[in-house]
């Protein structure tokens, strides 16, 4: 069966820089979060490190996705394929810089 994907007008595009994966007996839950780093303008790396040591970062959940456990391996396989493609795209430039 072919699938015709649609992206309706107004579909949100959200930024996430943190995630968690939780599993129940039948499902896998992906939770994606957006974290804002603390303001460190003009600070030295040591000052940033000191500031971060005592902090608790707030991460706002921007979306949750639930998958069946049967679908989860397909997601992993697709992610691995894309990772391999990205590595192949990056490697020619890396080789050129090394040579």
Per-domain residue ranges of the chain: 15-68, 70-99
Res 40 pLDDT > 90: no
Q: Which tens digit of pLDDT belongs to each residue from 2-27? A: 999 999 999 888 889 999 999 999 99
pLDDT band at 81 (very low <50, low <70, confident <90, very high): very high
3-state secondary structure the chain: CCCCCCCCCCCCCCCCCEEEEEECCCEEEEEEEEECCCCCCCCCHHHHHHHHHCCCCCEEEEEEEEEECCCHHHHHHHHHHHHHHHHHHHHHHHHHHHC
Q: What is the pTM of this model?
A: 0.67
């Amino acid at each position: 069966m072919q699938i015709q994907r649609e992206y309706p007008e107004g579909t949100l595009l959200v930024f996430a820089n943190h995630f968690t994966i939780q599993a129940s007996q039948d499902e896998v839950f992906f939770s994606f979060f957006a974290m804002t780093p603390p303001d460190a303008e003009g600070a030295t790396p040591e000052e940033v490190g000191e500031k971060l040591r005592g902090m608790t970062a707030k991460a706002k959940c921007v979306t949750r996705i639930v998958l069946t456990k049967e679908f989860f391996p397909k997601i992993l396989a697709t992610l691995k394929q894309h990772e391999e493609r990205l590595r192949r795209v990056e490697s020619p430039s890396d080789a050129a810089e090394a040579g």
